[in-house]
Amino acid sequence: MNAKFMTAKDMEVLRRNPLFGGLPDETLNSLIEKSHLVEHGRGKILFLRGEPAKNFFLLLDGWVKMFRDTPDGEQTVISIRKSGDTIAEAAIFFGNNYPASAEVVDRARLLEIPASALLGRIRSDGELAVQLLGALSMRVHNLVHHIEQLQARSTSQRLGDFILGLCEIETGPADVRLPYDKSLIAARLGMKPESLSRALAKLKDIGVTSKGHMVILEAVERLREYCQVAED
């Protein structure tokens, strides 16, 4: 589908992304004109590790898992990308191949951007190059923060932080939809599925309950405070 069918909400997501947020309309329109709007269901492989990095993506809606296969056939989850995140933008600079694989884990809409379109704009637009460096730096910062959480936070804190990251309000009661299987959430948070269940049970004491893919918070601020001070 041609990117001209992007909605006003899609454009809002595009503008919030660090890579595109400050670009002039002319630059944005040039990239959009060469891109495609795609929709995929759960289980769709966007690309596999080792394949030529011909495109990168802006995730407009849904969830995408970045992973690597281990020699014994298991998967290591590297990250989970949500609405507003870019996918594989670094791959087009670090060689000809994707360094990891990407799979849709909940129905997703994406803007598929040819690598040649971005590289062409960078060669003629120094501001875009600067913004790309900033976006990549932010990605590194987020990865470092995630590693720090795995090392310093309890399992219940890690799960609480994850839930807070999905919550769209700052205070009061909230319903939060978990975007994918709990086993995948556990892998993302560096714990076993049974540890995730115990962590979720522990959060009941501060008014956090779950039903299927929904998590109900009695008060967002209580969970935030807990995540700052709780210890296992």
Confidence (pTM): 0.74
Cα 227 to Cα 209: distance, rounded to the nearest angstrom = 16
**Residue 188: CB atoms within 10 Å:** 18
Predicted local confidence at residue 232, as pLDDT:
43
Q: Where do runs of H (alpha helix) occur along the chain?
A: 8-16, 25-33, 115-124, 126-152, 155-166, 182-188, 193-202, 220-229
Residue 19: which of 108, 125, 101 has the closest Cα? Answer: 125
Helix or strand holding residue 41 (H, E): none
Across the chain, which distance is largest between two alpha carbons, in Å? Answer: 56
Please list the helix, strand and coil fractions of the chain in percent, rounded to the nearest 5, in that order.
45, 25, 30
Residue 42: which of 182, 212, 179 has the closest Cα? Answer: 179
Question: Roughly what angle, to the nearest 10 degrees, separates helices 126-152 and 155-166?
Answer: 140
Cα dihedral 87, 88, 92, 97 sign: negative
35: amino acid identity, one letter? S
User: pLDDT by residue for the chain (232 residues), tens digit each?
Assistant: 666 678 889 998 988 887 787 777 887 888 888 899 999 999 999 999 999 999 999 999 988 999 998 888 778 888 888 888 889 988 877 667 999 999 999 889 999 999 888 777 777 777 777 777 766 676 666 666 656 655 556 889 889 988 988 887 888 999 998 877 788 888 778 788 888 889 999 999 999 998 888 899 999 999 999 988 644 4
Question: Roughly what angle, to the nearest 10 degrees, separates helices 155-166 and 220-229?
Answer: 140
Residue 206 tokens read as 């501060």
